Structure 1
Amino acid sequence: MIIGTVSTARDLPCTIVMARSVKEHMPGTRIVVGVMEDTLPDDLWKCSYFDEVIQLNNVLRFPNLSKFWFQYDEQEAKNACKAPLMSYIYDKYVDEQSFVYLESNTKVFSPLTEIAAISQRHPIIIAGCQTNSDFMEWDWRMEAGKANVYSTSMLALSRHSEARRFLTWWAKISERHSGNEFSYMDLTPIYFDDVYTLRHPGYGIEHRNLVERWNIAQPSAGSYTVNGKPLRCIHFTPELASAAGWLDENKAQLYSQIYQRYALEVTNAAKSAATANPWSYGSFASGEPIAKAAKQAFRDNYYDNPAIENPFRLSNAFFHIEESPHHRPSSLPDYQPSPRKSARKKNRLKAGSRKTASSFKRRTSKSLVYAR
């Protein structure tokens, strides 16, 4: 198995933690890191857990890379680079049969045995963000669809003609439409044959599906189960801590402990990594930060303009953007979980219960985080 991930310099501590967790639980797995920066300092990316580090500029096959990078913000660009990275891995490592993409801020807690077994029978494996119909209300269907049905933080492919066709299709989307990647990914089971939807509750845990993956337990030191199945991997974001704050006390405590241990690992990894520099493609050549509205305007109105060869030589004023851009916070989350609320609604799930409450009421402003 080969695991690929896209990373910026600022993501490097998270990437190190992800790769270390993979090597711990699956020692024979190779890790390939695609770096989304304009330079690749050797001393920065030397890590014993990485089997190969590539600068994505060397593998992207889009006609104008300046335009490609300029149109996207940092997260959109990460989405856009997944398919080219996985295509590169698929084409280079011809002796390998199983390929997995994991976000850099993911941690593996036990071997991905289900992925290895399923990939022998199915060329494409995708995971649903929510997989338990008991936890979906009818008035939530439209919002769930807007946020995406399938997760792009993890997917797996095997060496198969249908997987190769999928990668080609995905790469075409990435050049111009990665901002809508989630919507396109939801079409995968329609466009491609033999797509397997992974419903194992131990995979791809994140804040959006914590309401159905609340039943975490620790049968032994360092070993966890979720809904009675082994915990395989968690996609860590700052919202995860907030979502866990709504669970029953003992379940929330376990998730909080996992979160804090991960935070410490990332903090320690950051001590040896020079990650203070901003993303290479987040500023104009003059040093002026690029407003998100300027990126959107360029994508909508200027991308096909042949007179603009390098948009990084322009400014926000060119796009009539005068306000200061809103910067995405550092890719390293604030690892302090939100305070627990003292008041609990009486219809939340009780500890150990596998039944749903009569209804879920929204108790937070964060998208798709629901009370228990």
Structure 2
Amino acid sequence: MEDGNASIEKLPQSPILHDEEALAIRTVAFPGEHDEVHEEKIHHGHLRPRGVEMKREMTKEDKELAAAGYEHLEELKLKGKKGDTTELDKVDIVEHRLSFHELGKALDANIDTKDPGISYGLTSEDAKARLARDGPNVLTPPKKKSALRKYFDCLMTMFNILLIIAGVLEYILLGVDFKDSFANTYLGGILIAVAFLNAFIEFYQLQKSEAILASFLAMIPPSCRVVRDATLTSIPASDLVKGDVVLVRVGDKTPADLILFASTDLKVDNSSLTGESEPQERFPKPNGSEVRPVEAENLIFNSTLVINGEGWGVVVRTGDNTLIGQIAALTGGESGNESPLRKKSAIS
């Protein structure tokens, strides 16, 4: 028994994890016994001892909770997985190619790349002037029509009108010569039914497109952390302007398109935009990046989820000018889509 007790005492006392995925993974770094305790100045002028540092990685449940508003984007995810990046290639974003010096000059932004916490940011007056010039950081909602009006517009296309006219003519011939035209009794009904079915298919596709646009609006976060007048504060995301210095942390949705100038183990979920299933690491590039915007490692996009680390960025695009805003405009502008039946009829 003594040997048994000794072996028990050697076992480390640690909690039993029944469900590892349900627990957040934390890493705590304590200063060494002989290490110096460093201090750093923050913008309020006080000294802060640098002691315990914590890094938290999101669990699966946290990701699902924070990803609310992404339900209608499965179509875009599938397109991205299949390599269909036509819409992403059409976006107009070039700020990721600029160096830190060029970026600060172009946006007239006050940023400190060595210690982002002491960045002055914009003044309140400057931010108000830019907000009045560029407008709020929101996506323009699509123009809405009643469901009956949209279905009627789908029905009143040239192909459907020809089908309906052909069906009506069949019944007119039936009235002129009932005996000889009796074999065409069902043909007129079939032609008219095909016209209404074809209109319903187009109407359904239109409804799905509008559902995607509506989901874009739900993805915008309500508030964000921004540096104004050398003070880190929380403001509505709709009040963000170009040149604002923004802090994003794990669990946040990015409030606008940001160019990073400082980060710590930052990873974002771009699956809603590009279809990439794995988290993407993002970090500053002092000399800019020459790749496409969706592949730029120094650029994080409006509405993407931060799943690890934190980062400081400067706002380069807001509202309809962001990547998601441009995709929404391209999606809403697809008015020339034809149903499969109309395409086959045009070919024949």
On whether the aligned pair clears a TM of 0.5, the verdict is no
TM-score if structure 2 supplies the norm length? 0.22
Q: Which has the higher helix share?
A: 2
TM-score if structure 1 supplies the norm length? 0.21
Q: Which has the larger radius of gyration?
A: 2
